[in-house]
Amino acid sequence: MPIKHVIVDSSPLITLYKSQLAELLPQLFGQVKVPPAVWQEVTAAKDDIAARSLPQSKWIIQTEAIAIHPLIAAWDLGAGESQVLSYALAHPSHTVMIDDAAARRCAIGLNISTLGTGGMLVLAKRRGLIPSIAEPIQALQDAGLWLSDNLVQLLKQQAGI
């Protein structure tokens, strides 16, 4: 089933902007939402490409303030992860785009649909938006996203390189 609504955490946004791949988001998803805590995290470093690019991205929808759900607060995650997951819990039609391992475990435990930045590249390849995921994966890694060798191989296998 296609993902129509995605709510994105800081790490995917930062690495996508730094790797020049952020424009894939509006091509893949009907709505791309960012909660206030994520917006603040991404735009905090004024000299950073992500901080400059996020406010200029017309396809980003900044959500309203979000109360952290008690089930998510118990995980003691960061503010961005907590808002992303709380929003998705309140809006089940949304998929969270999140890379943090603890936040992904929380999402899985609460039956929240998740997608990692690497998984987004697989979608982009399957939809013909990129010819291969090899170079984009390297660009993400160069931008600071840590991906294990096993995960890189799995993503390449899923995408059919």
Cβ atoms of 109 and 21 closer than 8 Å: no
The predicted pLDDT at position 1 comes to 57
Q: How far apart are CA 11 and CA 95, in angstroms?
A: 15
Q: Amino acid identity, residue 105?
A: R
Provide the CATH number for the domain around residue 54.
3.40.50.1010
Per-residue pLDDT band for 49 (boundaries 50, 70, 90) equals very high
Torsion angle of alpha carbons 99, 105, 106, 112, nearest 10°?
A: 80
Counting DSSP H helices and E strands in the chain, the numbers are: 10, 5
Q: Is the pLDDT of residue 46 over 90?
A: no
The predicted pLDDT at position 47 comes to 84
- Of the candidates 108, 122, 128, the one whose C-alpha atom is nearest the C-alpha of residue 154 is 122
Q: Is the pLDDT of residue 77 over 60?
A: yes
What is residue 107's three-state secondary structure?
A: helix
What is the chain's length?
Answer: 161
Which residues pair with residue 8 across a beta bridge?
A: 97
Q: How far apart are CA 3 and CA 156, in angstroms?
A: 21
- Domain holding 88, by residue range, is 5-159
Q: What are the CA-CA distances from residue 24 to residues 44, 48, 91, 156 (Å)?
A: 23, 20, 23, 18
Q: Is the pLDDT of residue 23 over 60?
A: yes
Total of domains in the chain: 1
Section 33-45 average pLDDT: 95
